[in-house]
Structure 1
Amino acid sequence: MMVKLLSSVAALLLTTHIHAESAVVPTPSFLMPLAEKAVLTDLIRVNEQLFVAVGDRGHLLVSTDSISWKQIQSPVQSLLTSVYFSDDKHGWAVGHDATIIATQDGGQSWQLQQFKPETDKPLFDVLFVDSSHGIALGAYGMFYRTTDGGKTWSDEFHLELVGSEDREYLKELQETDPDAYLDERASVLPHFNRIYQHSNVLYMIGESGFFATSSDFGKSWTRHPEFYNGSLFGLAMTAKNTLIAAGLRGNVFRSTDLGQSWQEVQLNQTATLNSVLTDAADHVYLTGNAGTLLVSRDDGLSFEPVETKDSKAILNAVAVKEQLVLVTEAGIRTLALKKPE
């Protein structure tokens, strides 16, 4: 349906420079009167007075109070799956057609940086460490890097992220049949669903229990043993430095040693979980399909349901004072949080 519903030093690091130009010219998004009720997939709280949400048909919405939203024209109509800001002014959004768009004025205008419909692959997440250095990733191990704020993007392949059985095969193929090697390389990696940074460490999760970490902003990676055989979509660190990962069929895991070991958290529901977030009170929230919203008040040891108004899938949320602002398959929703009795 949408990205969140779809589902070492590098032995080899191949880089091909990709420029923003594409043979196919994208069509800008339409300004729609009900854009805030359309399918929205991600949002970010940039600061106290700026919120940005993205979604289907290239929709971009901004708000100064998380209540009233204004649509901003996007240079594409592709489904946008993730949005990230490095500061109050500089932001990026990624999505289908390997699309990358950017803003330098706090979301008031957006420029195309990459559009590659010929790949037939979506980007799922984007992360910047500052206004120049960023990473975008997605289906079948797509991995792009920029060092100039997105003026140019480089396509990277990290052999250390390939499973051990396929790694030797790829090395041999590279020597014996370079063309076949490039074909295999394009599909040998799992989908990269989420990249998350805490301190100086990057955490990446994906399809089939994929989990990897990097301490040099993704120049080299360590792929860790799978602790779950299904896809993972959400990841966040709690105030007590506990990692919470969530994914298909209501599976949730927590790690108190920065991902070295994981323990399963038992839930009484099986809806796919799309994101993990925290609030100022150190509560942990899980959003999911079928209107699923769960909260933990004990650092992720247990979760209880939060009543929502309908069964629309919740893709992500941000906590704002005593409420959650949700992006759902039916647009933006605001949910007042009840204090525990």
Structure 2
Amino acid sequence: MFNKLFLACCCVLLSNTAFTVMADVNSVEEVKAAYMMPLAEKSLLTDVQKVSNNFFVAVGERGHILLSDNGSDWRQASVPTQSMLTAVHFINETHGWAVGHDSLILFTSDGGASWQLQQFLPEDDKPLLDVYFRDARHGIAVGAYGLFYKTTDGGDTWEQALFIELAAEEDKEYLLDLQQTDPEIYRSELGSILPHFNRLFVDGNTLYMVGEAGFIAKSADFGDSWLRMEEFYNGSLFDLHRTPEMGLLAVGLRGHVFRSEDNGQTWQQVELSESATLNSVFSDAKGTVYLAGNSGTLLQSIDDGLTFTERSEPDGKAILNGVVLDNQMLLVTEVGIKVLNLDKSE
């Protein structure tokens, strides 16, 4: 049901295809502010970030953005859209961005108390699925159907880019021919051939991106150019994480988990007893690695992702993401926020 849920509800393009998106959000009649709901923290939530020890933010359906000072008590922010939100990223306690359906990008400069539209393209009917900023000016937003946007001015303008090196090898010759004969159709065709980009992961100076059909790519120049890595799995991947002992874990459809000890050059499958789709992987300061997924799936590893044990939720509700506090785990799920006591034996 929940393939991350969001899709249901050569050089930089060998000369790089990019164009600036200037969405006149003030003239778009479809924009409607999110309703203030007393039970918003019990609605479908898709992403959560621990910005600091005193600030947490979660996003989800109907434009819901929730803020907390302690991870337990939540308040709903005023948001100018009802579009489904899929990811959130703050660079500090004041400046943050959220993305979602309708190629939506939101921005706050007051710690999430208020949000402004930077992009809203309902006519495209394509969701953005993740966002990351390395500082207050330079950011990337990615999503379904090869959506890739960059900004160098804090989101005042966004450039959409299409990268031929991110296409499958069997499609590149066709695309190169088309690029020479019909650039307009080439751009449209490349946009339809590229996979869904599901998640960004920043590892030092390397930026990773994972997506459908076993897609993994990495960039050493913050997304100006990309290397598509050799495929090792033909299903969708939804998250990538560096383990405490410097391995890489990739998770995806039907309980598939893969581990690499050589920075993604080779991968070995980790066998699980669960077959539910895995949406996220994260770890805590003690070195425990967690997998969260559909059907209440929650798994943990104390050996750096080599093996996992169960601590799944009995209600069977999908878990979309989570963060670990001192002795608690904060989860965002299809029925809202859950706080689990990690000291409690299962």
TM-score (norm 2): 0.95
Aligned equivalent of 1:209: 214
Aligned equivalent of 1:327: 332
Counterpart CA distance in 1 for 2:247 and 2:344 is 23
Cα RMSD (Å): 1.5
User: For 2:130, which of 119, 125, 129 is the aligned residue?
Assistant: 125
1:195 to 2:200 alignment: yes
Residue 229 of structure 1: how far off its partner (Å): 0.5
Residue 166 of structure 1: how far off its partner (Å): 1.2
Aligned equivalent of 2:86: 81
Q: Deviations over 1:214-252 (max 9, x none)?
A: 000010000011111100001111121111110000000
User: For 1:18, which of 14, 17, 21 is the aligned residue?
Assistant: 21
Counterpart CA distance in 2 for 1:295 and 1:203 is 23
The amino acid across from 2:61 in the alignment is D
SS in 1 for 2:213: helix
Q: Deviations over 1:19-71 (max 9, x none)?
A: 24245231110100100000000000000100000000000000000000000
* Over 6 Å off, 4+ runs: none
User: For 1:221, which of 218, 226, 230 is the aligned residue?
Assistant: 226
Counterpart CA distance in 2 for 1:219 and 1:174 is 19
Give the conservation status (yes or no) of the 8 Å contact 1:242–1:254: yes
Unaligned runs of 5+ in 1: none
Counterpart CA distance in 2 for 1:89 and 1:309 is 37
TM-score (norm 1): 0.97
Residue 309 of structure 1: how far off its partner (Å): 4.1
| Equivalenced residues, count | 341
Residue 151 of structure 1: how far off its partner (Å): 0.6
Unaligned runs of 5+ in 2: none
Aligned equivalent of 2:169: 164
Residue 2 of structure 1: how far off its partner (Å): 5.8
Residue 12 of structure 1: how far off its partner (Å): 3.6
Aligned equivalent of 1:287: 292
Give the conservation status (yes or no) of the 8 Å contact 1:12–1:158: no
1:275 to 2:280 alignment: yes
* Structure-to-structure mapping, 1:58-69, within 5 angstroms: 58-69=63-74
The amino acid across from 2:218 in the alignment is T
Give the conservation status (yes or no) of the 8 Å contact 2:328–2:339: yes
Counterpart CA distance in 2 for 1:317 and 1:178 is 43
Residue 129 of structure 1: how far off its partner (Å): 0.5
SS in 2 for 1:316: strand
Aligned equivalent of 1:36: 41
The amino acid across from 2:290 in the alignment is Y
User: For 2:315, which of 277, 290, 310 is the aligned residue?
Assistant: 310
Aligned equivalent of 1:146: 151
